[in-house]
Amino acid sequence: MARSVKSKPRTTRTVKRTKKTCYFTETKTKPDYKDVLVLKRYVSERGKILPVSLNGLTAKNQRLLAREIKKARFMALMPYTDKHAI
């Protein structure tokens, strides 16, 4: 017969994360496709646009940022993927 082994109860850890603030509302600017250094902060090393949960932008600025990153890619200021890196 199989014995039932009591396992330890799972404990949940509460990790306090500091709320990230939106870079564009702090500096009172808008995302611009010509400012590639700022746009690169919000793109992963694979070339994907980072989600709001990781970058801390507001929803409006996230939409504007995505549009400006796509413009910069179209104008060849930024690579589409890591394999197209200059």
Provide the pLDDT for residue 71.
Answer: 97
Q: What is the pLDDT of residues 13-55, one digit of tens each?
A: 776 667 789 999 999 999 999 999 999 999 999 999 999 999 9
Domain map (residue ranges) of the chain = 32-84
Correct CATH for 32-84 of 4.10.640.10, 3.90.1170.50, 3.40.50.720, 3.40.50.300: 4.10.640.10
70/50 Cα distance (integer angstroms): 13
Residue 68 confidence (pLDDT) above 90? yes
Beta strand ranges found along the chain (DSSP E): none
CA 50/CA 42 separation, integer angstroms: 6
For 22, the token pair is 């939106």
